[in-house]
Amino acid sequence: MVPVLPGLYVGGAESCTSPESLAAAGVGAVLTVDAEEPPAVQGLRAMHVRVLDEPGADLLSRLDDCAAFIGAARAGGCAVLVRCHAGVSRSVAVVTAYLMKTEGLGWEEAYAAVRAAKPDAEVNPGFQGQLRLYEAMGCSVDSASALYKRYRLQMLTERYPEIQDLPREVFAVDPTSLCQTPNTEVLYRCRKCRRALFRSSSILSHVEGSGPAAFAHKRITDSVQLCGDGREKCTSYFTEPVQWMEPALLGVMEGQLLCPKCTSKLGSFSWRGEQCSCGRWVTPAFQIHKSRVDEVRTLPVGNFQAAKT
């Protein structure tokens, strides 16, 4: 194991084979990021995060939990060892995220700092992408963030259609089950029958495309212009799945999205992805044509509220 910060070490599975070495380093807590939970080490606080060292594995969702464990142990006066099987990818990714969150470093700068301490470190490409996304979200996993929602859907796409059931948390609440839409949100209704379909918080904006050239990967930055929020180049809204869509999505790769009340065609979906009119390829895609819905904005009027279409 090697020190990265005072009271923070990174290493492989062999790092815990010598209790004497751990005691000499003041290690009182061990965070293991591995597919299998290791045997407990007597006298040490332990946390296990079950993640394979594969580009498609989800480490991002656990980064805040890992940072909290490391921070609490260090605040309590003991050193922490973060380990994985080889000590080069998963453990390094977690320590990199911790530096980003606590030291105010960008992902590349944090990664370079860990590699300076451990030259054989090599985070797999998938985890590198997750660290970029972690940085884009302000080093905090926000389940309400459009960035995180799209990431979560892309993780599902990797396993679809082999999965039997879609997790409930990927579906936005059907707006018809809510008493009212918050003043800050726009409600979208079927233009034909006025059935409420989704809220503005369910729209997943995307980087504006420019035909085939737009399909190349671009790093997300604050300066990137987004579309999908009403600009003319995008003639559809791409949303997260909403509860009323569930019957149409299960067991098939693509299909139509119909209004659950009047069955008029609203758009389409594809787990493989669809191309927006702006040229951007969106994966997975849950596409509602703007021409098939109306915006309803709720405006405060004295002690009452009025809907504006």
Same domain, 58 and 160: no
Give pLDDT tens digits for 149-171: 999 998 888 776 665 677 888 89
CATH number, domain with residue 89: 3.90.190.10
How much is the mean pLDDT over the chain?
87
Same domain, 137 and 14: yes
* Structural domain includes residue 66: yes
* Structural domain includes residue 212: yes
DSSP string, 200-240: GGGB--EEPPBTBGGGS-----TT--EESSS-TT--EEEB-
Same domain, 261 and 191: yes
Same domain, 51 and 80: yes
Same domain, 44 and 132: yes
CB atoms within 10 A of CB 173: 12
Same domain, 193 and 285: yes
* Structural domain includes residue 308: no
Given this model, what pLDDT does residue 225 score? 43
E-assigned strand segments in 51-163: 79-83
The structure's pTM equals 0.80
* Structural domain includes residue 56: yes
Enzyme catalytic residues: 84
* Structural domain includes residue 305: no
Given this model, what pLDDT does residue 231 score? 46
Give pLDDT tens digits for 191-241: 999 999 999 999 998 888 875 454 444 444 433 444 544 445 899 999 999
Give pLDDT tens digits for 74-122: 999 999 999 999 999 999 999 999 999 999 999 999 999 999 999 999 9
More confident residue, 168 or 180: 168
Given this model, what pLDDT does residue 299 score? 61
Same domain, 166 and 268: yes
The range of the structural domain enclosing residue 202 comes to: 152-300
- Alpha-carbon distance of 56 to 62, in angstroms, equals 14
Same domain, 182 and 81: no
Say how many domains are in the chain.
2
